[in-house]
Structures are given as C-alpha cells and as structure tokens.
Amino acid sequence: MILMYVAGAPCQPCRLTRENMSMSQRRPSVLFLFADQLRGRDLGCMGSPVVRTPWVDRLADEGVVASRAYANSPVCTPNRGTLLTGLFPHGHGAIANDMPMYADVPSIGRTLRDAGYRTGYVGKWHLDGVPRSRFTPPGERRHGFQYWAAYNCAHDYFNPTYYRDDPVPIVADGYEPVVQTGLAVEFLRSLADDDSFALFLSWGPPHDPYDQVPEEYRRRYDPERVSLPPNLLSADGNPLARDLEPRETLRSYYAAISALDDQVGRLLRELDRLDRERDTIVVFTSDHGDMLWAHGWMKKQLPYEEAIHVPLILRCRELLPAGRTYDAPCSTADLVPTLLDLAGLEPGDVHGRSLLPGLSDGERGDDAVLIMNQCRFDEALLQGVPEWRGLRSRRWTYAETVERTPWLLFDNDADPWQQANLIHSPDHADVRGTLAAELRARLHQVGDPFTDTLGMVEHTGTGEAWRVRELDMVSRFGELLDVSE
C-alpha cells in the first residue's frame, strides 16, 4: 500500500510512468509490511467485530483495500518466494518449506536495487534452505537486499535473533516485532533525502506459538467473549492441536495482531517525522492464513478461505484513490508487477499481473486466481492433505488433486463458511466443468505439470535441495516424512 498523511483534499490519482518520472526528484519508495499466518478477515477494516487494528484501519480508510486477495500457495516458503518474484513455486524453485529459491531468480529486490534503490530486509526470511539457523551472507542469496537484519526461520518471539553481515547471530531483548520495527526505523533514519528505498519487514506473529505475545495485548481480549465460527470442528486426535484450547488460542492470536498494529503505527509516525510519506508506497499483507480448527484442520496448505484469504491494503495519496475497495480476485503473484508498475519499472516474465489499472481506475480485473499446494510436506503430510491445484473466483472455490481428480467446490456467495462441498452435486455439473477447463488452461499457461511431490521435485531440478531438506527433518524430528506412499 502507499501511505500519505497530508491534510486537505486528495489529489487526483495518476499513473506513474517513465514519461512523467521527471516530475518527481525520485522514484516512489516502498515500505512492505507483512505478517505471518494472518487471515484476511481478522482486521477491523475487513469486518472483524473483535480484532482491534486502528492503524491498519486508518491505512484502509486512506488507501485501497483488496478485499479478495489470496495466497497462491498458502504456506510459508513457497508463497514468500512468490511474494518476492511474482512467480509460482515451480518458477522460483522453493517448492516446499525449507528449500531455497534458485540463486539467480529475478526478484523485486534485485530489480529495485539495480534501478538505484536502497534496499533492505528485516525479519523472517525462510528462503535460504536448511538449517533454519543458517546465516545468509551478503551476495546472491539475499536476492538484491543490501541492508540486512534477518534470520532464516524461528518463532521464538521473546528471544529475537537476527544476523547482519557476519555469521555471528545477534540476540536482542524484548518482543521480536518491537525489535524488528526498531531495526526498520534504523534503516529509514539512515537514508539521504534523495534516496528511493525499498524496505521489506517480515514479522513472525501471529504465527504460532500463539501464546508468545505480551500480556498487555492478551488483556485486551476476554476469552469468554471470543465467539467461535460455525465451521469450527473438534480437533480431537489432531496431533497439531491437542494442547490448544480454541478460545484461549484465538485470544492470543488476536492479541498478536493488535501488537503488530501498534508497530504499523510506529512506522507510519516515523515516515511522517522524516517527511517521507508523500512518496512512499506502504503495503500491508500476510504470506498466508491459518485454519485454526476450521473444518477440523490446523495451520495452512489448504484451499479453504481461512488459509488462502489474506489482507492486502495499498495506500498512496498521489497515485491511488482513498477509501476504495478493489473487489476483483488478486493474489501474491500480483504484488511484484504491481509495485514495479507503480515505480515505472518493467517486471519481466512473471506469473502475476499488475493491479494498477484496477486499483487506480476501477477496471474490473481478473475473474479468478490460481491457488495450489504443489508438494506434500510437514503439516500437510501429518494431516493427510494431498497435492492440489485450484481456482478462487469471485464466487467459487474449486480444487482438484493429482490426476485431475475433483476434490472441492464451494459457492462462497451462498455458503461463506464453506460448509457444503458441491463437488458431486448434479446441479453444479456445468459450473464444475467450466472451472475444470479454466484450471487446465491456466496450469498449461504457467507451465505447471500438476504432478505429485516427487514429480515436482524432478520437474524443478531441486532433487538435492529436497534431499538436504528431508535429512534436516530427520535431525529435527527423528523421522523422515515419506511422500512416496
């Protein structure tokens, strides 16, 4: 999103191009803020009657809310790779958690750095393979990011740890999002007045462990007043949820979101103080959602709304209208081409598309986006989730498993909690056929072979990275999760 805090009537939005770039002394900067495992509906501006997010809500009031934004691959590493490249996992190589992206894959960090931006990355990375404590040195494995205060992957929020430019980890005191936001502020204060910058800040919460949140935020939510959604089912026997109680867990999850909201406000105030708000694009989103017992599932890697629907807010007084809702389906893959379009730069060959015409001029946009789980691993294996591909359109959610086996069909207008699977309904045969044909065409267009996990490993040439990942799983959990059965 793009952020501006200037009093008075907003300017008419304009499309920034190379032709009018001389009107400004510098290209628009980017402040990209994203949470981990934050569902799209769990913000005040997205209709939540419970979660308190005044700073994010203010962004929504002054910017554009993409109400149908979806994670193409609702799991950490694959979708984070898509977020930085505009490519689906088979295009950037990180097809499973704890696998690295191709070292030379085009990325937004590289493109903006090469265009003269000062680039920075703070927080959770999760794109450099294993071990999760691995140091990512300066160079190609940082994919264009110069300022670095990041850690590959950890969810230990009261023991914040990060690397700078040497392999000695820095351990800080306090709550991790507060520490990371402080590092982001450090970066902003280091800029010269004429610097265009691109800073990506990746917070770990509200990803579990759910109870790792300061008590001051937990006190804001009474568990007795936390309502449970109608599609929540018992998780008895689920090894991922046996020690969790839904109301207490949701209370802590909501508390973590409010904690992040305070950090959003801290950054917005800093941009104001530095007088960088007029030309800074601020984006707020998440890498994916969280099932939290919906339909009896936990975590992600599923085509349900709780896993794929993410928040997406963009604000810029000079380039985008305020208070608009963009209701066409869009996805993580669209972020790179949209931001580069706003900066007057070409995205190259990507799987996403620029949303700028729809965001600024109200064009209708796409009718559906691709969603997928290209590999079975980790929680998907433990919960019996297959490989799948699907579409999320304005109305329908459709998914198939390997060998083009129809799996799920939901009418989200009539059934917003997705409680009636219509995949075998005779009355919906035509809808099913139309969506199946559209899915086939889109998979062909992006070169996705829709094979099983080991076939995808072979297709992407990532056999060694997969082997190393699996050996690391043995070292961490004492057994190899076998996808060949």
Active site (catalytic) residues: 76, 126
Q: Are 267 and 274 within 8 A, CB to CB?
A: no
Query: Hey, is 197 helix, strand or coil?
Result: strand
d(CA 251, CA 225): 9
Return d(Cα 97, Cα 167) in angstroms, integer. Answer: 22
Instruction: Verify cis geometry, omega within 30 degrees of 0, for the bond prior to 209.
Output: yes
Radius of gyration of the chain (CA): 21
Rounded distance between C-alpha atoms, residue 275 and residue 31, angstroms: 14
> What is residue 281's DSSP assignment?
E
- For 110-172, the three-class secondary structure string (H helix, E strand, C coil) is HHHHHCCCEEEEEEECCCCCCCCCCCCCCCHHHCCCCEEEEECCCCCCCCCEEECCCCCCEEC
Give the residue from 311, 334, 266, 459 showing the smallest Cα distance to 72: 334
Nearest to 63 by CA among 371, 378, 314: 314
Q: Do 340 and 111 meet the contact criterion of CB atoms below 8 Å apart?
A: yes
Q: Which two tokens stand for residue 424?
A: 């075998």
